[in-house]
Amino acid sequence: MKERPPLSSIIIFALGQFGWSLGVYSVANLMVYFYMPPADGLEPTFPQFIDQGAVILGLTVVGLLAFGGRIFDAFIDPGIAGYSDRKTSKFGKRKSLMAIAAFPFSLFSFLIFYPFGVESFSSNTIYLVICVLCFYFFYTLYVIPYNALISELGHHPDDRLKISTIISITFAFGLILGSQVYTFQNMLEATFDSQTAFQIVIAGFGLLSFILMMIPVLFLNENRYAKQEEQSIDTFKSLSIVFKDKNFRYFLIADAFYWLAVTFIQLGIIYYITILFQFEKEQASSFLMFSFLASFLLYFFIYKITPKLGKRVLIVSAFIVFAFTFILAYFIPILNVDLISIYYALIIMAAYPLAVFGILPNVIISDAINLKEKETGESQAGMYFGVRNFLSKLGISMANLIFPSLLIFGYTVEFNQGVRYTCLAAAIFCIVGLVSFMGYKEKV
């Protein structure tokens, strides 16, 4: 029987989550901002490096790039998950892959924002395709084995909830720090032009993410604390077993629509702040920071109340609150209410679903893994998280594809309908996710 990991080892493990969430933030949330910056009536924040209009069926280059990268990422998930489950290594079956992926993952997270000159639309597009595909390959190579360790370290139910809570905090730390890009950019603009200031911040994020991702690789004793079994099932059979888990499928669909909705916040916050609220861009950083800090205040409450109310009740309520948050955002320009009051109301409303979805999905997945292991005698931690990542990334991919296309309907202060449409779409995604999750039956 493997030892239960002490708190110190869980924290070491969780720092890797801090690193990869910071590393992925830039690519997942700032590509649209950098290559299709909001028009708030002033000079464009950045030069035009690629075609910013619709190129096919109303879709934009940056939307297609973000979508294509995520689709590629999603479809390689099961293969890497199966390989990670079958791999053996004295260093650690999961850590050996994480060690390979950490540096190139961080490197491409900022190379994506270093295109050629402004007259090189075609060259920049080809360069971005290569960088985006490389980034998402190494991102998946790190994250899939990392996530598999959540259930392998959490081979006791109490540890699963503890690990999920702590990594949700470090994941949020990565998002909070990443969201401060606008503030750091503004500070550096006293010395550098906007483009250089932004690129310096992204390079700093990439370096820090590499250091943090290497902490569990170097200091976590995987062989001592992770409960792992030799995996003999091939990738396709393992994939089939996971998809046949009907109860898990309800969760997967709901989770995908959650990621669709939350990605709209991450992509859209700079537009909501500068176009709908007409605030300065630094307020976008403040909004995300305050939302996540407010969610932290709820973490202990969620941790304590989950055993009493159950995960299903909390996730259903979170979907409802999240939908109302987006509906309120849609009406911002026509509400005769103080904008500061709406700003803080949205922060408070967003905090609850962020806290619930930050903690409970990993617990649900770990529960499913352990139930299936008891049933079959085979551990498929990598594949369960791989399938979850596959569906969630499909949701993120669709958000990256849909969001820029909706912006075409208007993303200026005078013509803001496109920005408002993104709020309405996100609310619909929450409702669809809620309906799907109603089929989920909580099992212990």
> Mean pLDDT of residues grouped by 10 in the chain (444 residues)?
85 95 88 75 69 72 82 82 78 89 95 82 88 93 90 77 86 86 89 91 96 96 78 65 80 92 85 86 79 83 87 94 93 85 90 90 83 70 76 83 84 84 94 92 70
The predicted pLDDT at position 398 comes to 85
For the four alpha carbons of 64, 357, 7 and 228, in that order, the dihedral sign comes to negative
Question: Per the domain annotation, does 442 fall within a domain?
Answer: no
Gap between the Cα atoms of 178 and 174, Å rounded: 6
In a domain, 174, yes or no: yes
Q: Is 443 part of a structural domain of the chain? A: no
For residue 444, being part of any structural domain is answered with no
Predicted TM-score (pTM) of this structure: 0.74
Q: Is 52 within a domain?
A: yes
Q: At what angle do helices 381-407 and 417-437 cross, to 10 degrees?
A: 150
Residue whose tokens read 């689709």 = 71
In a domain, 247, yes or no: yes
Alpha carbons 282 and 256: distance in angstroms, whole number: 30
Q: Are 426 and 260 in contact (CB under 8 A)?
A: yes
Q: Residue 2 domain-assigned?
A: no
Around 202, how many Cα atoms within 13 Å sit in the side-chain half-sphere? 24
Q: Are the C-beta atoms of 330 and 423 separated by less than 8 Å?
A: yes
- CATH number for the domain that contains residue 14: 1.20.1250.20
| Amino acid 377: pLDDT | 66
Q: What is the pLDDT of residue 382?
A: 67
pLDDT at 391: 83
Q: What is the pLDDT of residue 443?
A: 66
Query: Which domain range does residue 15 map to?
Result: 7-437
- Angle of helix 246-271 versus helix 311-330 axis, rounded to 10: 30
Per-residue pLDDT at 235: 62
381-407 vs 339-376: helix crossing angle, rounded to 10: 150
Angle at Cα 19 formed by Cα 226 and Cα 160, nearest 5°? Answer: 35
d(CA 349, CA 352): 6
State the pLDDT at residue 68. 83
Report the domain count for the chain: 1
| Angle, in degrees to the nearest 10, between helices 246-271 and 417-437 | 160
3-state DSSP assignment of residue 54 = strand
Q: Is residue 148 part of a domain?
A: yes
**CB half-sphere exposure, 133, CA atoms < 13 A:** 10
Return the pLDDT at 372: 74
